[in-house]
Amino acid sequence: MLLRILGTAAGGGLPQWNCACPGCSGARRFPSRRRLHDGLAIHGARPDEWFLVNATPDIAEQLESHTSLRPAAGHDRTPVIHVVLTDAELDHTLGLLRLREAACIEVWCTQPVRAALDGRLHLSDVLLPYTELIWHDLPSVGAPTRIAGLDVNAVELSAKRPRYAAQNPSHPAWSVALRVHDPDSGGCLLYAPAVAAWSDHLAQELAAADCALLDGTFLDDHEPRRTGISSRTATGMGHLPILGPSGTSQRLAGANTRIYYTHVNNTNPLVDPDAAEHKQLADAGLAIAHDRMVVEL
């Protein structure tokens, strides 16, 4: 199993178009600091077998930046694209509209996510004149679904809904992590870009994974208030911070699993590669993922 990290930024990317915070200003001065929206491409045993995890507003640039994700030699177009969604947030789903040039889009997601995308955004109706859209249920219990030769399960994380679907019913699978297992190599990935609360189930899944990509949106709980982007704390916004009493880094220090933080917000000091907190994480065996990383399991 091969993971291609297409992007590592939270909603808005880095720099965010309407922001002049230190993180965004630094990314404008130093292009190497730029980050695209958080997303993955995961390869199965064959190079031409792969699927996307989330479809971001940057999807066209992300696909073009990896030669193995371009149409194969001798083929005019990519005929079918496979997408697995962790939630219904706009920064994880707007790219589905950009993929309309495909002859077919197959989407795996949980029931509340499909209800939001079809009921609120009318995604099927919008895409129908352009392409065939096929929906599949993403299981959170029982047997996994097989995609590109890999076994995929949802791990329920929280009932946090996107703002546009605030009136939709509560459900524990609004936001999920993905557990991806390679039956050939035995490698296991856990991908959890939005962690609202810690649970024993999440801890067990992390311990069983060879590699985990985990919510690194905010450095500490007061970052949203301190930077003026919200009156809520990080936890109140549905993202456990990295540091502090409610932070994930203390829980993860010394873990046998390879841990990378992703979904990093533009206000997070860790977008600066010279930030002192990088050493603090490294001492705990943790790191920040970066765009275009490739991880083999």
With H, G, I as helix, E, B as strand and everything else as coil, classify residue 118.
Answer: helix
Sign, CA dihedral 45-58-194-274, equals: positive
Q: What is the pLDDT of residues 143-197, one digit of tens each?
A: 899 999 999 999 999 999 999 999 999 999 999 999 999 999 999 999 999 999 9
Where does residue 212 rank: exposed (0-12), middle (13-18), buried (19+ CB within 10 A)?
Answer: buried
- Reading phi first (left if > 0) and then psi (alpha if -120 to 50, else beta), residue 58 is in alpha
In this structure, what CATH number is given to the domain that contains residue 246?
Answer: 3.60.15.10
pLDDT at 79: 76
pLDDT tens digits along 88-147: 999 999 999 999 999 999 999 999 999 999 999 999 999 999 999 999 999 988 889 999
Q: What average pLDDT does range 262-274 have in this prediction?
A: 98
Sign of CA dihedral 282, 237, 52, 34: negative
Q: Is 32 helix (H, G, I), strand (E, B) or coil?
A: helix
**Distance between CA atoms of 249 and 245, rounded to whole angstroms?**
10
Tell me the per-residue pLDDT of 45-54, one tens digit each, with 9 for 90 and over: 887 899 999 9
pLDDT digits (tens, 9 = 90+) for 3-29: 999 999 999 999 999 999 999 999 999
- Amino acid letter for position 176: V
For the chain, how many structural domains are there in total? 1
* Cα–Cα dist 137/227, whole Å: 39
Question: What residues make up the domain containing 256?
Answer: 2-296
Task: Name the average pLDDT for the chain.
Answer: 95
Average pLDDT over residues 222-251: 96
- Tell me the sheet residues that pair with 80: 104
What spatial distance separates the first Cα and last Cα of the chain, rounded to whole Å?
Answer: 5
The pair of three-digit structure tokens given for residue 5, joined into one six-digit string:
């990290």
- Asked whether the beta carbons of 88 and 115 are under 8 A apart, the reply is no
Query: How many residues belong to the chain?
Result: 297
Q: pTM of the prediction?
A: 0.96
Once rounded to an integer, what is the mean pLDDT over residues 270-284? 96
